[in-house]
């Protein structure tokens, strides 16, 4: 009864058809479209959906106790997101917020040993899995679409060029890549700008793959990857870049993160942070994502990011917000993932497939309809070195694009592959 009362109050847009555990059909309709049909195969799931909707939805879909009979999981989650804008349950929301706030406190502290555990949970999965849905360079972060007609490969090249342009790289500079992933960005920067790059990662699988890629590219003298936490680094660098790693730092460690960047950056250096963010202000972690996909993960608001940055000896010199780019990236990833679903199910199982389908679909919905975005913050130790306008970004990107995958080094004069 509680579940049906909940749905009557919840559906403000569209039509939701529900088939309960006894096979009885219920319809909750506000408008004819969109129309979604789900089937509940577990009585206990009905109550869980009222008290912890996101966790229950994800677990129900993973276990097969909730199936989508009309539409797919993306359609259903999109339907839920649209209706969440229209409805308000004061008591339920209060209880949910209190529980989420408690979880948030548990994840705020992120010592080095816990960081290793959290990273291993997600990033130490097989390289073969990620190759099924990422681009050829294995960029596992938001791409940059100059047009919705861009394919994933093009958009990820755009992203790397966009970052390179903001870093204002010069041949021979030392670059630190915090959270270097599968190594593609570091290798690309070394090729593109003749710089020396040190990448830091806590993932043994990513470290192995990235190191193998450096050897294959013949860049061992200019690119290296270390299994090291950013708090353990002691070098000095001309440029520091961090892409898709800040989400794992932990709120309690934001001041420490920016203080460390400041201490590692030369007085005339530039740092660039690329992170998922929440445009509606400080939020609470998604309970399902934290349990199954990103333990300890959190998408910060710009307000809490900047307040932590201000005490450091860094000046914010540029901020850019990318609103729909990650939604498009996730759309491409999910399409590729679904195209390989038979292989995924054969190797990792049906439950794993549904878990990752839910992950990719829910994240795309979050970026399209739930106020999530990506921000890039450029920082300098000396604000007087800041260019007068942002024109240098577009000029550098255009210059790189016109090279059509081949450039000439200002140092050696030899041709290199471009991004």
**From CA 72, how far away is CA 34, in angstroms rounded?**
12
- Specify whether 48 is catalytic: no
**From CA 161, how far away is CA 399, in angstroms rounded?**
10
**From CA 182, how far away is CA 367, in angstroms rounded?**
24
Structure-token pair, residue 140: 């596992």
Under 8 Å between Cβ of 314 and 380: yes
Q: Which residues contact 221 (CB under 8 A, 6 or more apart)?
A: none
Burial of 349 (0-12, 13-18, 19+ CB in 10 A): exposed
DSSP for residue 189 = H
- Calculate helix-pair angle for 302-309, 254-264, nearest 10 degrees: 50
**From CA 239, how far away is CA 227, in angstroms rounded?**
20
User: Per DSSP, what are the bridge partners of residue 18?
Assistant: 26, 38
**From CA 43, how far away is CA 218, in angstroms rounded?**
59
Q: Which residue has the tokens 């972060």?
A: 141
Report CA Rg, the chain.
Answer: 23
- Calculate helix-pair angle for 152-167, 325-339, nearest 10 degrees: 140
Active-site pick, 80, 142, 278, 363: 363
* DSSP H or E run through 341: helix 341-348
Structure-token pair, residue 188: 């690309």
The residues that are catalytic are: 363
């Amino acid at each position: 009864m509680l579940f049906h009362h909940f749905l009557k109050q919840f559906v403000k847009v569209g039509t939701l058809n529900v088939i309960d555990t006894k096979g009885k059909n219920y319809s909750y309709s506000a408008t004819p479209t969109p129309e979604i049909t789900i089937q509940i195969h577990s009585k206990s799931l009905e109550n869980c959906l009222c008290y912890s909707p996101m966790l229950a939805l994800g677990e129900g879909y993973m276990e097969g106790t909730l199936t989508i009979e009309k539409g797919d999981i993306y359609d259903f989650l999109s339907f839920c997101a649209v209706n969440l804008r229209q409805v308000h349950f004061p008591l339920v929301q209060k209880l949910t917020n209190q529980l989420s706030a408690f979880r948030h406190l548990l994840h705020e502290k992120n010592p080095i040993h816990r960081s290793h555990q959290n990273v291993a949970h997600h990033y130490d999965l097989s390289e073969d899995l990620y190759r099924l849905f990422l681009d050829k360079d294995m960029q596992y972060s938001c791409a940059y679409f100059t047009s919705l007609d861009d394919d994933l490969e093009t958009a990820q090249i755009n992203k790397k060029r966009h970052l390179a342009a903001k870093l204002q790289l010069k041949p021979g500079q030392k670059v630190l890549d915090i959270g270097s992933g599968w190594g593609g960005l570091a290798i690309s920067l070394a090729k593109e700008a003749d710089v020396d790059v040190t990448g830091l990662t806590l993932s043994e699988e990513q470290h192995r793959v990235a190191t193998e890629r450096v050897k294959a590219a013949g860049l061992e003298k200019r690119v290296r990857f270390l299994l090291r936490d950013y708090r353990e680094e002691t070098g000095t660098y001309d440029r520091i870049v961090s892409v898709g790693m800040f989400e794992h730092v932990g709120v309690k460690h934001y001041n420490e993160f920016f203080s460390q960047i400041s201490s590692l950056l030369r007085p005339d250096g530039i740092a660039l942070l690329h992170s998922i963010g929440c445009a509606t202000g400080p939020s609470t972690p998604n309970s399902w994502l934290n349990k199954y996909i990103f333990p300890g993960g959190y998408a910060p608001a710009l307000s809490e990011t900047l307040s932590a940055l201000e005490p450091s000896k860094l000046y914010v010199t540029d901020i850019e917000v990318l609103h729909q780019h990650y939604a498009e990236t996730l759309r491409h990833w999910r399409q590729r993932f679904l195209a390989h679903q038979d292989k995924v199910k054969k190797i990792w199982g049906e439950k794993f497939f549904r878990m990752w389908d839910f992950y990719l679909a829910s994240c795309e919905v979050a970026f399209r309809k739930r106020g999530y975005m990506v921000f890039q913050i450029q920082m300098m130790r000396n604000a007087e070195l800041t260019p007068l306008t942002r024109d240098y970004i577009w000029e550098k990107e255009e210059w790189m694009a016109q090279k059509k995958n081949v450039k000439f080094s200002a140092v050696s004069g030899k041709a290199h592959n471009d991004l």
